[in-house]
Amino acid sequence: MPLTLITGPANAAKAGAVLERLRAALSRNPVLVVPTTADATHYARELAGAGLVFGAEVTTFPFLMRDLARAAGIRTRPLGRLARAQVVRAAVADVELKALKASSQGPGFAEALGDLFAELQRSLASPGRFGAAIRAWREGGTAPAHAGELAALYSAYHARLQALETVDADGLTQLALDKAREAWDGRPLFLYGFDELLPTQLDLVESLVRHTETEVTVAVTYEPGRAALAGSATTVELLKPLAREHVVLQPRSEHYAQSARGALHHLERSLFEPLPRKVPPNGAVRLLEAGGERAEAELVGASVLELLRDGLAPEDIAVLVRGRPASELFAQVFDTYGIPVAHERRTPFGETRLGAGVLAFARAASPAGTAQDVVTWLRTPGKLAAAPEGLLAGPPRPPEGETAAPGAATPREDVAAEPGAFAARPLDDLFGPGEPAADQGALFATGQPDELDVPAADDGGDPFADDDERPPFDESLAPESASAPAEAFGEPGPWEEAPQGAASPSPERAAALDAVPEPVGLVPPDELGEISARRLSVPSSADLADRLEVAVRRHEARSAREARYHWERLGGRELTELDALGDAEGVEAVLNLLVAEADAIWTAPHVRAADVLSSEAEADARAARALRQAAKELTKLADIDPKLVEDVTAALGAIEVRDSDAAEGAPGVLLADPLNIRARRFRAVFVCGLQEGDLPQRPQPEPFLDDGDRAQLAIASGLVLPRHEDTLARERSLFYACVSRPEEALFLSFLTSDEEGGPQQPSPFLDDVRALFTDELWEGRGRRLLAEITWPPAEAPTPHELRRAQAARAEGDPPAPLGAPQAPEVLHLLAARDRESARGLETFAGCPVKWLIEHVMKPAPVDPDPEAMRRGSLGHAVLEATLRGLKADTGSAKLTLATQDAALQELHTAIDQLIAAARTMPARAAARALEVDLERYIRHECATGAAYEPEQLEWSFDAFMIDGVAVSGRVDRVDRKGATAIIRDYKGRTVHPGAKWAEDGKIQAALYALAVREQLGVEVVGALYQPIGTSDQRPRGVVRDDVPGRYVNGDVSDRETLETRLEEARAIAARAATDLRAGRITPCPDRCGYQGGCAHPGICRAV
């Protein structure tokens, strides 16, 4: 039966003409086909509202093809999207590629190839037809080198489908079309809302019209000669020869609101037409100018709120946004503004909170699983909702047959070396406590010598600060690294083998090193009780996950095994789920475990609670449903050919979770892509993102066959494929459809800058609209620019935004700086302090508030120590190992020209051990950079040093009394000659001349000198800061004029001046001790931070 073709511009009552014919055919069960599921829902409700509840079916073309295939007796169930992607990848592996070999290894190749296959099928190009077309093209001599490989890939894909005895969705459509003339039951068919028809849709229409008695009606938005509708011309010209009747409808304006009719009808009639006349917009057409994407969303949100307050229902408003990121931003802003939203979206499974956790679980169970995967999985909302029995399981048990890590559960206490003893320690202690399965070499990751002065958090920017004077690590948040397996240096941990290539010490040195005391720990002895008490408290599940994340970050844990070690050390139960998944064999077993884990996670908070699910819980439920469906699909595919599902995690990453609220007619402002509203009207429409490149979109060449190739293919073979780069006609038609949808108000929003302030070019379509209206349109535009952090109070759209605006404009004094403590409990705590480190007294002398924060409050760090600090710590250790080795081999650690070669040999041995343990190239390179610095220093001291004997290395003291306070510290080196001694403190770059110690409050070296003099009974003749990372290796401080060596002139002094410097430091320390116990805490922002400025402005608030 011939076709009825209905054409006309937008709003020409085409829907009325189609529905009138549909009502007339109601007794024959007509079928109405519309572009989207949301359109189908809308028109089904409209028909129901008109009393047409039974008889008519409203559907989309894919669902029509599914029903047609079923009617034709085709029982093949098509592959789902995930299974199809696996088959495409298998087809790529089946073909030996040359021209496309390199490209096939890249990400996105299989996805792009699958898109090409779908396009070929929708263009009705079978593998045979496409192969023949490619051969003809190649014979013509104009085909690219990869053309033959594309044909081979397309054939291999279909061969895979045949082997599986299945088809994909487009293949099912083709089968249904082949059977259409026999299977169609004669019901009248109506197609409405399409700007143009795909080849498959045209094929169905032609088959039914030419070979059946079916009454077919097609309505297309088209008007001859209109530039805005040129994209529909091809479809109309192909349908005209089939049409028995061509109904041409005239433009109409009565559906517009009376106040908006003149402007909106003029826009529809004149858009993209030459020499249009200008009319006033009358508020029906409005422009919105924004600086940045968020400002645009906020400006649109404010306008939507205004419409809602004027009486419009949320369902009467459509906001059209292209692209998922922009759409998500608009949804977020609308939620903040309290605007109900019906959001059509598909979210990747891995970007949902449940999906991210489940995929992390799958990765964590694999050999390549990372520590962050374990953290992500355990932090998934619901995973730890109900604390499992035995939450605090105690320290982790090492694998059977292995011993526990050294010092695993014993906090270390400060150990002062016996006076006069040479405190030797083994290299595995020297190079710091081990990390479980971590790259110790990464502790000093890549750096140059001048990086030794990068400011560090707790030591005034000096990476060579003394370990025992840094703020103690908070064990309530993460385990101290001293108790983890030592594997990167020295003896291996319980799960590791000893590093290959590490040099072994001589028997003599081994004997000397065996007698080494334990290294000084990070936690002072007086705090161990507090830490132990905290360990006895039972953390909540959420706290435990937080602590794990801190431990992973602080220790730079990499593997999932390391994360599990830290988890169990913190008291977490054994993560048997990971073991079960890791041991699972077969795709079905893995998928079953993943589905079970997902269900356990999202249902845990709701067990026996009869909850009404929140929006977040509903999203979790949708993600779980999508996972179950994907698992069934992949399981069936694996049953046929397990090789098609080799990487389950990668396959599941392609799941899309559909939020179907908008499609199901949920109340709210419709937030949708412009393509999804072509068959519906709204009282108000917002067309957003009117930028050059967004609307209209820039041409997107197809990666395998660009438009030039397609033209050559068509000439050579007659196979015509859709063009991708000639987009202007389609984009004009789309914009025309968008601006013709509103009945009362149209808003067009555009950007003048991006979020970084870069200029943005508005869409040329905006100029086409401005050409239709008077200057009132531009002059009355709404604006929200990038610099406008808050709204003007009179324009604030919500109470919250009004409060922000008022706060931003409020005048007043800044908040007062942190004042001295007043609470009796705090004052009592401070008065009771009878122990302080030398660094603490120096810090208090510089800024009491900084001391309070860093030495009393002691906020636990979350991130790893700065690279320069860690590199400096290793520098301490390497120097200590060098001097120990020198003494073990030569009987003396003295650095002179005579011992220079032996000292350098010891240095290279220590560095070689460091490199042997390093597992990354940056770590090895950093070790070499450290070697350069230390070699330069050793050569300098051998040539120009005092030639004193280093008798105490890392010498600790804790009973040096100043004004009733026991001062503690650790001295890097005490060099002695007879009854005299020189104090040396290693620094990176920043060293302090003795003449300015009192002025700058730098008293640490002086306090060390006083402690050495009192406790070791020697005469101090120098207290020096030794730079390591500078070209000028001369030490700074104060040294007596009878000490040999090369020093800065201003630092050389007589006996009286040296004594004066030391006593000035004692007086400063005594005053600091008195003030801190009296609670005299005042900010000193000018000298608090590294190189001036406040170190903690967020707490101190001093400006």
Q: For 593-615, what is the HEC assignment?
A: HHHHHHHHHHHHHHCCCCCCCCH
In a domain, 111, yes or no: yes
Same domain? 358 vs 313: no
Q: State residue 625 phi and psi, 5-degree precision.
A: -65, -45
Residue-wise pLDDT for 63-80, tens only, equals 999 999 999 998 888 888
Most confident of 163-172, 293-302, 813-822: 293-302
In a domain, 109, yes or no: yes
pLDDT exceeds 70 at position 409:
no
Query: In the prediction, which pLDDT does 1092 show?
Result: 64
Q: Number of helices (H) and strands (E) in the chain: give both, helices first.
A: 41, 22
Torsion (CA) 494, 495, 501, 502 in degrees, nearest 10: -30
Read off the pLDDT band of 480 (50, 70, 90): very low
CB 212 within 8 A of CB 181: yes
pLDDT exceeds 80 at position 439:
no
**Of 986, 931, 981, whose CA–CA distance to 954 is shortest?**
986
- Rounded distance between C-alpha atoms, residue 1066 and residue 836, angstroms: 14
CB 341 within 8 A of CB 301: no
pLDDT exceeds 70 at position 562:
yes
- Rounded distance between C-alpha atoms, residue 392 and residue 308, angstroms: 53
458 or 218, which is more confident: 218
**Order of all β-strands in the sheet with 31-33:** 57-59, 31-33, 189-194, 216-221, 3-8, 243-248
Query: In the prediction, which pLDDT does 1016 show?
Result: 93
CB 176 within 8 A of CB 72: yes
- Rounded distance between C-alpha atoms, residue 273 and residue 502, angstroms: 81
In a domain, 1032, yes or no: no
pLDDT exceeds 90 at position 497:
no
In a domain, 9, yes or no: yes
Q: What is the DSSP letter of 852?
A: I
Helix (H, G, I), strand (E, B) or coil at 981: strand
In a domain, 1070, yes or no: no
Mean pLDDT throughout 683-690?
A: 95
Same domain? 59 vs 86: no
Mean pLDDT throughout 250-264?
A: 91
Question: Half-sphere exposure of 617 toward its Cβ, with a 13 Å CA cutoff?
Answer: 12
Question: Half-sphere exposure of 827 toward its Cβ, with a 13 Å CA cutoff?
Answer: 8
- Rounded distance between C-alpha atoms, residue 1057 and residue 1066, angstroms: 14
Give me the count of residues in the chain.
1103
pLDDT exceeds 80 at position 413:
no
Q: Tokens 């050579």 identify what position? A: 716
Q: Amino acid identity, residue 631?
A: A
Residue-wise pLDDT for 13-39, tens only, equals 888 898 889 888 888 899 999 988 878
Same domain? 221 vs 273: no
Query: In the prediction, which pLDDT does 540 show?
Result: 62
* Paired residues of 1025 in beta bridges: 985, 1036
Q: Amino acid identity, residue 660?
A: S
DSSP 919-977: -SHHHHHHHHHHHHHHHHHHHHHHHHS---EEEEEEEEEEEEEETTEEEEEEEEEEEEE
Domain that holds residue 617: 351-390+534-659
Q: What is the DSSP letter of 190?
A: E
Mean pLDDT throughout 981-1010?
A: 90
Of 41-55, 554-568, 623-637, the least confident: 41-55
| Boundary (domain end) residue, out of 101, 131, 166 | 166
Q: Tokens 């028997």 identify what position? A: 507
CA angle (783 as vertex; 779, 788 as ends), nearest 5: 145
Same domain? 644 vs 709: no
Query: In the prediction, which pLDDT does 669 show?
Result: 92
Of 384-388, 558-562, 681-685, 932-936, the least confident: 384-388
Average pLDDT over the chain reads: 82
Same domain? 769 vs 627: no
* Paired residues of 971 in beta bridges: 955
- Rounded distance between C-alpha atoms, residue 761 and residue 781, angstroms: 17
* Cβ-proximal residues to 139 (8 Å cutoff; 6+ apart), any chain: 716
**Of 303, 357, 364, 360, whose CA–CA distance to 334 is shortest?**
303
In a domain, 814, yes or no: no
Helix (H, G, I), strand (E, B) or coil at 389: coil
Question: In the chain, pLDDT over 90 holds for what percent of residues?
Answer: 46
Measured N-to-C along each axis, helices 867-890 and 921-944 cross at an angle, to the nearest 10 degrees, of: 50
- Rounded distance between C-alpha atoms, residue 283 and residue 276, angstroms: 19
Residue-wise pLDDT for 516-560, tens only, equals 333 333 333 343 333 333 333 445 666 888 899 999 988 888 899
CA angle (495 as vertex; 489, 501 as ends), nearest 5: 40
Give the CATH number, domain containing residue 325.
Answer: 3.40.50.300
Six-digit token pair at 702?
Answer: 């197809």
Same domain? 309 vs 162: no
- Rounded distance between C-alpha atoms, residue 1035 and residue 1024, angstroms: 6
What percent of the residues of the chain are helix, what percent strand, and what percent coil, each to the nearest 5? 50, 15, 40
Same domain? 158 vs 187: no
Q: Alpha carbon of 849 to those of 442, 860, 1101: distances in Å?
A: 33, 17, 11
CB 560 within 8 A of CB 374: yes
pLDDT exceeds 50 at position 1068:
yes
Read off the pLDDT band of 407 (50, 70, 90): very low
Residue-wise pLDDT for 566-588, tens only, equals 999 988 888 999 999 999 988 89
Mean pLDDT throughout 892-904?
A: 94
- Rounded distance between C-alpha atoms, residue 497 and residue 389, angstroms: 34
Measured N-to-C along each axis, helices 1055-1078 and 838-846 cross at an angle, to the nearest 10 degrees, of: 80
- Rounded distance between C-alpha atoms, residue 1063 and residue 1040, angstroms: 15
Same domain? 88 vs 57: no
- Rounded distance between C-alpha atoms, residue 857 and residue 1099, angstroms: 11
- Rounded distance between C-alpha atoms, residue 744 and residue 283, angstroms: 9
Query: In the prediction, which pLDDT does 134 show?
Result: 93
Q: Tokens 């013709």 identify what position? A: 740
- Rounded distance between C-alpha atoms, residue 1008 and residue 466, angstroms: 12
Q: Tokens 């010092």 identify what position? A: 407
Same domain? 691 vs 777: yes
Of 418-432, 731-745, 1069-1083, the least confident: 418-432
In a domain, 544, yes or no: yes
Query: In the prediction, which pLDDT does 666 show?
Result: 62
CB 584 within 8 A of CB 593: yes
* Cβ-proximal residues to 451 (8 Å cutoff; 6+ apart), any chain: 867, 868, 871, 1029
- Rounded distance between C-alpha atoms, residue 791 and residue 292, angstroms: 15
Query: In the prediction, which pLDDT does 541 show?
Result: 66
Q: Alpha carbon of 136 to those of 116, 713, 717, 840: distances in Å?
A: 19, 8, 6, 85
In total, how many domains does the chain have? 4
Query: In the prediction, which pLDDT does 510 show?
Result: 44
Read off the pLDDT band of 454 (50, 70, 90): very low
In a domain, 344, yes or no: no
For 1040, other C-beta atoms within 10 Å of its C-beta total 18
Same domain? 650 vs 760: no
Torsion (CA) 290, 291, 297, 299 in degrees, nearest 10: -40
Of 117-121, 457-461, 632-636, 741-745, the least confident: 457-461
- Rounded distance between C-alpha atoms, residue 141 and residue 716, angstroms: 10
Six-digit token pair at 427?
Answer: 């290299």
Of 37-51, 184-198, 679-693, the least confident: 37-51
Read off the pLDDT band of 1003 (50, 70, 90): very high
Same domain? 44 vs 59: yes
Query: In the prediction, which pLDDT does 1085 show?
Result: 76
| Boundary (domain end) residue, out of 217, 248, 279 | 248
- Rounded distance between C-alpha atoms, residue 788 and residue 808, angstroms: 11
Strands 341-343 and 669-672: what pairing? parallel
Strands 345-348 and 656-659: what pairing? antiparallel
Q: State residue 39 phi and psi, 5-degree precision.
A: -65, -40
Q: Where are the beta strands (DSSP E) in 606-707?
A: 656-659, 669-672, 682-687
490 or 678, which is more confident: 678
| Boundary (domain end) residue, out of 782, 807, 832 | 807
Six-digit token pair at 515?
Answer: 């007698």
CB 74 within 8 A of CB 165: no
Six-digit token pair at 279?
Answer: 């009319």
119 or 2, which is more confident: 119
Same domain? 691 vs 774: yes
Helix (H, G, I), strand (E, B) or coil at 784: strand
- The rounded radius of gyration (Å) of the Cα atoms in the chain is 39
How many whole angstroms from its chain centre is CA 61? Answer: 38
Of 79-83, 366-370, 664-668, the least confident: 664-668
CB 986 within 8 A of CB 1028: yes
Mean pLDDT throughout 1023-1044?
A: 92
- Rounded distance between C-alpha atoms, residue 356 and residue 500, angstroms: 38
872 or 602, which is more confident: 602
